[in-house]
Amino acid sequence: MNIPLTPIRMLRYAREQFSSRTAIVCGNDRFTYEQFAQRVSLLACALIKMGIKKGDRVAFLSLNCHRFLEAYYAVPEVGAIFVPVNTRLGASELAYVFNDAGAKVLFFGDCFLDTVEALRARVPTLQFLIALDTDGPRRDWMAAQNYEESLASSKPYHANLMDIDENSIAEMFYTSGTTANPKGVMLTHRNVYLHALNYCLTLNPNRLTVHLHTIPLFHVNGWGTVHYSYLGAVHVIISRFRTAAVFRLIEQERVTSINLVPTMATALLEAPERKDYDLKSLERIRVGGSPPAPALIRDIEQQIGGTCFCAYGLTEASPSLTMALIKHDSGWSGEMRLEKQATTGFPIPGAEVRVVDLKGNDVPRDGSTVGEIIARSDGVMAGYWGQPEATANAIRDGWLYTGDMAIVDQDGYLLIVDRMSDFIISGGENVSSVELENALLTHPSVAEAAVVPVPHEKWGEVPKAFIVLKPNALVTEQELIDFCRFRLAHFKVPRSVQFVPTLPKTATGKVLKKDLRSKNMVP
């Protein structure tokens, strides 16, 4: 008997088994699993009344709120594709994404009213622009009913579970586009369902998990936490990351689980109001993004609480691939434990993750040989929306090539050292731009650093550094080069340094190295 693997089973299960339990805490609103699932069934009906059919794209532009979670389940329920978009994108970037996706419906929060007004004429596919907030301003281009009005005039709709094709697309997320135009990552019902199972299996969330959604829900799956519903977990929503609000919610709702990026972690550590709150309920803090120093992990555990460890994934993998949990029986403690928890981690169940050299051979587990991370997991996407060539380039011989460069230690823990595109090959030697940037950042005058390759007749490529100085800092190009020479192998030292007032960045704060490279090409 094959039951389709689809996330809509998860909410149905929670409704059946945990109907009266709190599902969502959002501002002053609280919803039980019965209420949550009921609202989802109403939203599904509202979508059908709009003419939404299997395969249609439904976009969502909003800060975190309970309606976001509702859409995560209602859109796949009607067989449509859920497209949450990055709230930090500008109107032009959003218009590009909506057009590329061919979105029919856009739900949006009040604070994006002007943005939506500015872009709507440029996206001819959009048929319904629906306000999420109840008392927001009305414009004539909006749908006649706002979100709550749509629900109020609907009746519960439930798909026949067996009619769901587990290989159809359930969710689509756009890449951040640091190197090219954003691409739509197509995740199937099966991808999302199995990812959730593997994710839950790794973290052993029991039925007491209270998760605070610190990560924007437009990030793929909220990093997988959206489907904690399966276990009857409590979703605590925070619309924007504010340290005081985070602390207050942890105390008030006895939050057990949060996910952070390093900047959030630093903000929480630096917030003086921390000591006013009881944070003892925290059991697990996952840090994603770039691997932080073990000291950060230690500081979080000591000053905030729980067990803190890193995790790694990418949109194309639903996203989780590895977590830096401590392998039991390891006997690690103290600094050793912190060091392991600060790595990229080892694969979660359901994910095969290898680090390979240019010939496709696994690098030795020696903690020094660098290779590219490739992955084969239940969460890996069906492909990029409408981009068979990009898909074929990303998934080769059945493996997803991540473009992330890593080393593997003797215990099987990975550590990402760079993006492949940021690696510089100089005279046959690999130069890690991240290593070079980290070295430059230790200079007292340097605020930000980005290193890219520039062509060189003799060496092929040599590293060049772009530097943002701290206010009032004074340092010369030669001084910085000498500073690096003292610390790094000769071939790793940048050949030139260019001082810039700011570095070009994406909406999510990633440095746009492609811009630096093209800039660099200008004589």
Q: How many whole angstroms separate alpha carbon 495 and alpha carbon 424? A: 12
143-150, Cβ contacts within 8 angstroms, sequence gap of 24 or more: 147/67, 147/107, 150/42, 150/43, 150/46, 150/49
Nearer to a copy of itself, 53 or 207 (CB): 207
Q: How many whole angstroms separate alpha carbon 58 and alpha carbon 75? A: 7
Q: How many whole angstroms separate alpha carbon 370 and alpha carbon 404? A: 10
Which parts of 77-116 interact with a copy of itself (CB under 8 A)?
none
Of 102-110, 331-339, 345-353, 427-435, which part binds a copy of itself (CB under 8 A)?
345-353
Minimum Å distance from CB 312 to a copy of itself? 15
Residue 375 has φ and ψ, to the nearest 5°, of -140, 150
Contact 245, 274 (CB under 8 A): no
Q: Write out the two tokens for 499.
A: 């001082």
Nearer to a copy of itself, 204 or 290 (CB): 204
Q: How many whole angstroms separate alpha carbon 396 and alpha carbon 380? A: 12
Q: Write out the two tokens for 346.
A: 């080892």
Query: Residue-wise over 437-451: b if at least 16 C-beta within 10 A, else e?
Result: bebbeebeebebbbb
13 binds a copy of itself, rule: CB under 8 A: yes
Minimum Å distance from CB 33 to a copy of itself? 11
Minimum Å distance from CB 192 to a copy of itself? 13
Q: Show the binding pattern over residues 302-341: x = contacts a copy of itself (CB under 8 A), - = does not.
A: -------------------------xxx------------
Q: Is 34 helix (H, G, I), strand (E, B) or coil?
A: helix
Which residue of 381, 407, 452, 462 would you call a contact of a copy of itself, by CB under 8 A?
381
> DSSP secondary-structure letter at 47?
H
Minimum Å distance from CB 276 to a copy of itself? 28
Strand partners for 449: 467
Q: How many whole angstroms separate alpha carbon 58 and alpha carbon 76? A: 10
Please work out the total of residues on this chain that contact a copy of itself, with binding judged by CB under 8 A.
Answer: 46
Q: Show the binding pattern over residues 42-71: x = contacts a copy of itself (CB under 8 A), - = does not.
A: ------------------------------
Nearer to a copy of itself, 165 or 482 (CB): 165
Minimum Å distance from CB 345 to a copy of itself? 11
Minimum Å distance from CB 228 to a copy of itself? 12
Which residue of 88, 139, 207, 485 would you call a contact of a copy of itself, by CB under 8 A?
207
Burial class (CB in 10 A: 0-12, 13-18, 19+), 516: buried
Nearer to a copy of itself, 408 or 516 (CB): 408
Q: Write out the two tokens for 447.
A: 């605020």
Strand partners for 429: 426
Which parts of 399-428 interact with a copy of itself (CB under 8 A)?
400, 412
Which residue of 107, 108, 230, 312 would you call a contact of a copy of itself, by CB under 8 A?
230
Which residue of 153, 181, 206, 263 would you call a contact of a copy of itself, by CB under 8 A?
206
Distances (CA, A) of 416 to 243, 342, 420, 434, 513: 28, 11, 10, 10, 18
Burial class (CB in 10 A: 0-12, 13-18, 19+), 368: exposed
Minimum Å distance from CB 235 to a copy of itself? 14
Q: Write out the two tokens for 422.
A: 């940021």
Q: How many whole angstroms separate alpha carbon 5 and alpha carbon 7? A: 7
Task: Identify which of 176, 218, 222, 219 has the alpha carbon closest to the alpha carbon of residue 199.
Answer: 222
Which residue of 143, 382, 390, 447 would you call a contact of a copy of itself, by CB under 8 A?
382
Which residue of 134, 153, 179, 204 would you call a contact of a copy of itself, by CB under 8 A?
204
2 binds a copy of itself, rule: CB under 8 A: yes
Which residue of 116, 373, 395, 465 would you call a contact of a copy of itself, by CB under 8 A?
395
Helices (H), 50-90: 66-77
Residue 514, CB-side half-sphere exposure with 13 Å CA sphere: 8
Nearer to a copy of itself, 76 or 205 (CB): 205
Nearer to a copy of itself, 275 or 328 (CB): 328
Of 41-49, 191-199, 218-226, 272-280, which part binds a copy of itself (CB under 8 A)?
191-199
Minimum Å distance from CB 12 to a copy of itself? 8
Which parts of 113-172 interact with a copy of itself (CB under 8 A)?
162, 167
Minimum Å distance from CB 520 to a copy of itself? 36
Query: Cα-atom radius of gyration of the chain, to the nearest Å?
Result: 24
Nearer to a copy of itself, 197 or 390 (CB): 197
Strands 371-377 and 351-356: antiparallel
248 binds a copy of itself, rule: CB under 8 A: no
Summarize as ranges the residues that interact with a copy of itself (CB under 8 A).
1-3, 5, 9-10, 13, 16-18, 21, 162, 167, 190-191, 194, 197-198, 200-201, 204-208, 230-232, 327-329, 346-347, 349-350, 352, 376-378, 380-382, 395, 398, 400, 412
